[in-house]
């Protein structure tokens, strides 16, 4: 029974880690991450591909779908204009195969 419970928790946790539905907030204090968007790819911690289809983002780490509904989102982010205030810097790539998202 304990093994089944551990397997269920592991499965649930792994699916949450790979979901990439994002809500952008205006309130920095409710955000999971404060991010800075850079135009220089090698200054970025994460290289993100923004998709227009929610099902592309569900199981693809580094592919973000931005939603207008905070309750559908897996992560809430705040976009800052100050790189030194950010938790992560991101570069928005146009190629879905070159995403890089290390935590």
Query: Among 2-6, 36-40, 60-64, 68-72, which is the least confidently predicted range?
Result: 2-6
Q: Note the pLDDT of residue 36.
A: 95
pLDDT tens-digit readout, 51-95: 888 887 777 778 899 999 999 998 999 999 999 999 999 999 998
Using CB atoms within 10 Å of the CB of residue 65, give its burial: 0 to 12 exposed, 13 to 18 middle, 19+ buried.
buried
Q: Note the pLDDT of residue 15.
A: 39
Q: What percentage of the chain reaches a pLDDT higher than 70?
A: 80
Q: What is the DSSP string of 5-49?
A: HHHHHHHHHHHHHH--EEEE-S-GGG-SEEEEE-S-GGG-SEEEE
């Amino acid at each position: 029974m304990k093994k089944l419970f551990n397997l269920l928790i592991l499965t649930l946790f792994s699916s949450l880690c790979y979901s990439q539905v994002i809500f952008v907030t205006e309130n920095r204090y409710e955000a999971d991450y404060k991010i800075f968007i850079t135009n220089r790819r090698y200054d970025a911690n994460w290289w993100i591909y923004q998709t227009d289809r929610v099902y592309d983002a569900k199981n693809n780490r580094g592919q973000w779908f931005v939603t207008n509904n905070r309750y559908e989102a897996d992560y809430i982010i705040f976009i800052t204009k100050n790189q030194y205030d950010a938790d992560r810097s991101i570069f928005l790539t146009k190629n879905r195969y070159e995403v890089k998202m290390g935590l």
